[in-house]
A and B are shown apart, each in its own frame.
Chain A
Amino acid sequence: MDDLKERAELLEKMLTIRAFDEKVDELYAEGALHGTAHFYVGQEAVAVGVISALREGDVITSTHRGHGHAIAFGLDVERMAAELLGKASGYCHGKGGSMHIADVGAGMLGANGIVGGSMGIACGAAWTFKRRGEERVAVCFFGDGAVQEGIFNEALNMAAIWKLPVAFMCENNQYAMSLSVKRGFSTERISDRAAGYGMPGKTVDGMELDEVHSAASEAVDLARGGGGPTLIEAVTYRYLGHSKSDANLYRTRDEISEWRARDPIGRFATQLEEEGSLQKDEWRGMEQAVKERVEEAFEKAAREPEPGPESALEDVYA
């Protein structure tokens, strides 16, 4: 990650994720979007830090809060926008919406509306790579809430006993909807659980891109080299509500402000300025450009046609 251009691109990815989800939030407020969506705002350093550690051929599984993973993985914001608007040109042709954006061919094995729902799938992808002798890795994103689900135990155990090339990437954003980690766990660190499965576990500052990237690189290298899985806990925070209908009754404004003061984008931008890869406030221009691109994507997507109603009956079976 010494390449200056590459580092600026990472910042741009984070800015794109933020602009996208802030736009989505705005569209819900206007009543221009139906259904629901879960915002990644505040967690950008995790998706970008981890996915920048991957190679061509690696795959990810995502969550209900998946826009950030999709954008970081390189999915096209216009097709994502189209999907949120339910358009035929969307990634799922209007059948999936926010919670099911996927590009299986590219290796983005899907957002998932079930908490913990993709943990088995990630193990299956990793199992396939191992069976075929391919040096590919699966990264399984999930939140602190998924750690409370039963499949967390099953997936980590299987991955550990079979030394599957998978990295478990827990985004501890402090809340499973409204349940704080303080109320949902009797232990301090989620990464401590790794010891129970005989795999390395590490907690990193999820608001610090380089720290996330370095832990992810280590985990991915270990997996690729046949060393099996790692559990990484990135301590992070979602600035916006759980979903569009959240009144934030379970936390304080002060708490939100405290986390916002540690913003991963601002921190990384300052760092790039200090490193000399960006001029002072150059990133503000990037931010503006990215916002315009996201605006355009939604405007263009809005003009796309809706799918024909009868398409609802297609694709149930292959």
Chain B
Amino acid sequence: MPREITYREAVREAMVQAMREDDSIFLMGEDVGVYGGAFGVSRGMVEEFGEERVVDSPLSEAGFVGLCIGAALMGMRPIAEIQFSDFITHSMDQLVNQAAKLRYMFGGEGRVPVVVRTPGGAGTGAAAQHSQSLEAWFVHVPGLKVVMPSTPYDAKGLLRASLDDPNPVIFYEHKLLYNRKGDAPEEPYRVPIGEAAVSREGEDVTLVAAGLVHRYALEAAGSLADEGIEAEVVDLRTLSPMDHEAVARSVRQTGKLVVVEEDVKTAGWGAEVVARIVEGESFYDLDRAPARVAGADVPIPYNKKLEAFVRPSPEKVVEAVRSLLDARIGVYS
């Protein structure tokens, strides 16, 4: 009988199991100890592993991410938790100029196996500085990997794979996913970084998503099915390296591509998905112009109605698919 756990429990279980096996892994971040992390992800961990391995850091995102990078360079396997992904801005130099580049600049000497976990995304009414989806920034930095699981199963398996990886990995969680439940076996397992998954099969249109909004894509696919439209949903799971082959395979069947992303549309990672499809052979598989359902190009506003207005939603995905299928626009064949 499959076991259901929450996304939060999945992330925690991956850390706990890995830390039991590997003494070089430690978790460092703000309030990750007795408090259990701002979103309760590390609750109970300091009791098991002690303050040496579950380390409450001062409010120093540049400092403790830098420390984790130095520790990684010396052979440790640090996990840094950035309390809200917005605060990752404080550690940009460390991630972009240090973690991503040390190995390359040193001519292939040294490794920086650090995992930076952070919850991104909006929908919590927390306004512009606690709601952003900035993951595309890191997709733009060679030397980093960017992972964004949407299910408890993938969260557990991808975090384990991230902890095996010899490179810096930015691991995006989502505040609205933490309480979501899903099947995940208790025994340790890995989900490979860089492999997308088809989470629903269909032949009329391809929906490509990652993270929380992957659920929106699935919900939209459910509604569309009621209208007789069969959407295939591709969960990217990893944004960098990007599994565009999986997208191309799906587009070959459907001829239509809609990307669903929570980050703002301009220069979002969805643009990269579209670009890889239209600049390759798969361009000729398309029979409609691709579309993107993304965040509006504005900061996240506080008022709930305003916030909902600028965010993607299942309804917006349904609408985008309907427009795409409307024979009056974007028809190539």
Contacts and interface: CB of A to CB of B under 8 A. Distances in A.
Interface in A98-117: 100, 102-105, 109-110, 112-114, 117
A112 B98 CA distance: 9
Given A121-B69, A316-B142, A316-B143, A128 B76 contact: yes
Nearest to A107: B74
Interface stretch (A85-93, A233-241, A298-306): A85-93
B72 A131 contact: no
24 contacts: A91-B107, A94-B107, A96-B107, A100-B105, A104-B73, A104-B106, A110-B102, A110-B105, A110-B106, A112-B98, A114-B98, A120-B62, A127-B70, A128-B70, A128-B76, A131-B52, A151-B62, A151-B63, A151-B66, A151-B93, A157-B63, A161-B58, A316-B103, A316-B142
Interface stretch (B108-116, B228-236, B289-297, B313-321): B108-116
B106 A100 contact: yes
Contacts of B63: 119-120, 123, 151, 154-155, 157-158
A105 B65 contact: no
B67 A158 contact: yes
Interface residues of A, number: 47
Contact of A315 (B74, B78, B107, B113): B107
A95 B67 contact: no
Interface of B: 26, 52, 57-58, 60, 62-76, 78, 93-94, 97-98, 102-111, 113, 142-143, 145, 166-167
B111 A318 contact: yes
A122 B98 CA distance: 12
Given A158-B57, A315-B103, A124 B66 contact: yes
Contacts of A131: 26, 52, 71, 76
Contacts of A138: 70
B109 A125 contact: no
Interface of A: 59, 61, 90-96, 100, 102-105, 109-110, 112-114, 117-129, 131, 138, 150-151, 153-155, 157-158, 161, 314-318
Given A100-B105, A120-B70, A124-B72, 14 more contacts: A102-B105, A102-B110, A109-B73, A114-B98, A120-B66, A124-B78, A126-B70, A128-B76, A138-B70, A151-B66, A154-B66, A155-B67, A317-B143, A317-B167
A157 B66 CA distance: 13
B114 to A, nearest CB: 9
Nearest to B72: A124
Nearest to B66: A120
Closest 10 CB pairs of A and B: A120-B66, A124-B70, A154-B63, A121-B70, A92-B107, A315-B108, A154-B60, A93-B107, A318-B166, A100-B105
Given A94-B107, A157-B58, A124 B74 contact: yes
Given A93-B108, A158-B63, A123 B70 contact: yes
A121 B98 contact: yes
B166 to A, nearest CB: 4
A151 B67 CA distance: 11
A264 B252 CA distance: 71
Contacts of A161: 58
Contacts of A125: 70-71, 73-74
